[in-house]
């Protein structure tokens, strides 16, 4: 059975509004598919928006798109697909799946379009789901090739602009969103270095993230970066670039796609943010939910709340949340 399912997640957002529902229905009609709309607003609020707010309350930098993939797109939507008799689920993520003789299972691989590769956001899917995923954009070299296919079939989405913002914050002003929707208020506190010396004042810890250099309004003999937070004292901790880098860190809430368990120490590479390149490291599984990561070289901006995603060549090993 072929069908199209639209998740109603966040009404009036950049990806969930009446226009997108109409476009999806037209495309399904052209292709001869049935089209269903599944109301998921409350689930989205609980799993994505509330999580987003809670992480900032705890001085962490969340990644809501990953949570949405875990619980909505590859959670709720996959359950809906199975209830309709479908054996596969297809999305527009830039990634690939294939059967690997070497590993004896279906694997998730990087897209041919490395600049747009989205495997970083997909490590959270259940490993059993990989063989049921169809990712048609994985072999396209760039977005223009995709638009050309859409134009060929007269799909109106061919000219639709890319959306790279958080869908429920279309203007990308997350600080304003937290203030307007979650009661966050600027609360002045001290900016300190690791010695506890006061260097200035901040306007609220939620306005800063690990690795940030600009916007602190302080002067020093060398560039300073945000290196941490002291929530209890409402202090923003800053330091030099040397103080920002890390050689080791831990990852929890892990999801492994390539193995059921990592035995011993395993050489691989890791991305600590979507916008970074993956760099060599060694991982060691400490318990069922924790990995110890040792970098081959120092890495900057290792940020609690963000995901670390691991690769062996172009295959996704798995990932978890940086502690």
Over pLDDT 70: what percentage of the chain?
94
* 265-277: pLDDT as tens digits: 999 999 999 999 9
Last residue of a domain, one of 224, 243, 262: 243
Q: Is residue 105 part of a domain?
A: no
Last residue of a domain, one of 226, 243, 260: 243
Q: For the domain that residue 218 is a member of, what is the CATH number?
A: 2.30.30.280
Write down the pLDDT at residue 156: 81
Question: Do both 18 and 77 map to the same domain?
Answer: yes
CA distances from 3 to 34, 36, 89, 90, 154 (A): 5, 8, 10, 10, 20
Q: Is residue 165 part of a domain?
A: yes
* pLDDT level of residue 165 (50, 70, 90 thresholds): confident
Question: Do both 216 and 258 map to the same domain?
Answer: no
Per-residue pLDDT at 8 exceeds 80: no
Write down the pLDDT at residue 29: 86
* pLDDT level of residue 22 (50, 70, 90 thresholds): confident
Per-residue pLDDT at 2 exceeds 80: no
Q: Is residue 180 part of a domain?
A: yes
CA atoms within 13 A on the CB side of 119: 32
Is 68 catalytic? The answer is yes
| Candidate from 32-41, 44-53, 190-199, 206-215 with smallest mean pLDDT | 32-41
Both tokens assigned to 237: 């901790």
Question: Do both 1 and 66 map to the same domain?
Answer: yes
Q: 């269903």: which residue's tokens?
A: 36
Taking residues 196-203, what's their average pLDDT? 96
The closest of 291, 24, 305 to 157, measured between CA atoms, is: 24
The closest of 219, 216, 220 to 204, measured between CA atoms, is: 216
| Candidate from 13-22, 98-107, 175-184, 232-241 with smallest mean pLDDT | 13-22
Per-residue pLDDT at 12 exceeds 60: no
* pLDDT level of residue 6 (50, 70, 90 thresholds): low
Question: Do both 47 and 166 map to the same domain?
Answer: yes
DSSP labels for 64-93? HHHHHIIIIIIIIHHHHHHHTT-S-EE---
Q: Residue 277 carries which DSSP code?
A: P
Question: Do both 204 and 298 map to the same domain?
Answer: no
Write down the pLDDT at residue 4: 63
Question: Residue 148 class from Cβ within 10 Å (0-12 exposed, 13-18 middle, 19+ buried)?
Answer: exposed
Mean pLDDT across the chain: 92
Full domain range(s) for residue 10 = 1-87+157-184
Over pLDDT 90: what percentage of the chain?
74
Question: Residue 15 class from Cβ within 10 Å (0-12 exposed, 13-18 middle, 19+ buried)?
Answer: middle
Q: Which residue in the list 3, 15, 86, 167 is annotated as catalytic?
A: 167
**In the chain, how many domains are there?**
3
Write down the pLDDT at residue 30: 85
Question: Do both 23 and 58 map to the same domain?
Answer: yes
Q: 């041919």: which residue's tokens?
A: 112
Q: Is residue 108 part of a domain?
A: no
Question: Do both 10 and 62 map to the same domain?
Answer: yes
Last residue of a domain, one of 243, 259, 284: 243
Per-residue pLDDT at 219 exceeds 60: yes
Question: Residue 250 class from Cβ within 10 Å (0-12 exposed, 13-18 middle, 19+ buried)?
Answer: middle
Write down the pLDDT at residue 221: 87
Write down the pLDDT at residue 170: 80
Number of Cβ within 10 Å of residue 39's Cβ equals: 11
Write down the pLDDT at residue 153: 87
CA distances from 232 to 52, 187, 192, 227 (A): 20, 13, 14, 16
| Candidate from 7-11, 73-77, 246-250, 267-271 with smallest mean pLDDT | 7-11
Q: Which helix (H) or strand (E) holds 259?
A: none
Question: Do both 231 and 176 map to the same domain?
Answer: no
Write down the pLDDT at residue 157: 83
Question: Do both 196 and 213 map to the same domain?
Answer: yes
Write down the pLDDT at residue 32: 86
Question: Do both 317 and 212 map to the same domain?
Answer: no
Per-residue pLDDT at 124 exceeds 80: yes
Question: Do both 249 and 318 map to the same domain?
Answer: yes
* 294-314: pLDDT as tens digits: 999 999 889 999 999 999 999
Write down the pLDDT at residue 172: 87
Q: For the domain that residue 256 is a member of, what is the CATH number?
A: 2.40.30.10
Question: Do both 58 and 198 map to the same domain?
Answer: no
The closest of 316, 312, 266, 255 to 288, measured between CA atoms, is: 255
Q: Which helix (H) or strand (E) holds 189?
A: strand 189-192
Q: Is residue 112 part of a domain?
A: no
Q: Is residue 258 part of a domain?
A: yes
Q: Which residue in the list 68, 86, 268, 281 is annotated as catalytic?
A: 68
């Amino acid at each position: 059975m072929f069908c199209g399912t639209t998740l109603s997640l966040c009404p009036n957002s950049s990806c969930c509004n009446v226009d997108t529902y109409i476009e999806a229905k037209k495309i399904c009609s052209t292709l001869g598919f049935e089209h269903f709309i599944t109301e998921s607003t409350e689930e989205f609020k609980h799993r994505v928006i509330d999580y987003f707010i809670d992480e900032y309350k705890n001085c962490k930098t969340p990644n809501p798109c990953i949570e949405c993939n875990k619980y909505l797109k590859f959670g709720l939507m996959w359950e809906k697909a199975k209830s309709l008799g479908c054996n596969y689920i297809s999305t527009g993520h830039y990634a690939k799946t294939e059967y690997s003789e070497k590993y004896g299972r279906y694997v998730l691989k990087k897209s041919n379009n490395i600049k747009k590769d989205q495997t970083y956001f997909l490590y959270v899917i259940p490993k059993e789901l990989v063989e049921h995923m169809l990712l048609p954009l994985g072999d396209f070299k760039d977005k223009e090739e995709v638009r050309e296919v859409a134009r060929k079939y007269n799909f109106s989405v061919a000219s639709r602009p890319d959306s790279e913002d958080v869908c429920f914050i279309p203007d990308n002003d997350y600080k304003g969103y937290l203030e307007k929707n979650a009661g966050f208020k600027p609360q002045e506190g001290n900016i300190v270095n690791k010695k506890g010396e006061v260097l200035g004042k901040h306007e609220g810890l939620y306005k800063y993230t690990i690795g940030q250099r600009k916007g602190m309004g302080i002067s020093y003999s060398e560039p300073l970066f945000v290196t941490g937070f002291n929530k209890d004292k409402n202090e923003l901790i800053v330091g030099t670039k040397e103080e920002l880098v890390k050689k080791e860190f831990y990852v929890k809430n892990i999801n492994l796609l390539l193995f059921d368990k990592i035995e011993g120490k395993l050489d691989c590479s890791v991305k600590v943010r979507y916008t970074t390149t993956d760099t060599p490291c060694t991982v060691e599984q400490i318990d069922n939910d924790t990995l110890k990561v040792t970098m081959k070289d120092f890495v900057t901006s290792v940020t609690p709340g963000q995901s670390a995603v691991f690769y062996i060549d172009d295959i996704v090993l798995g990932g978890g949340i940086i502690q």
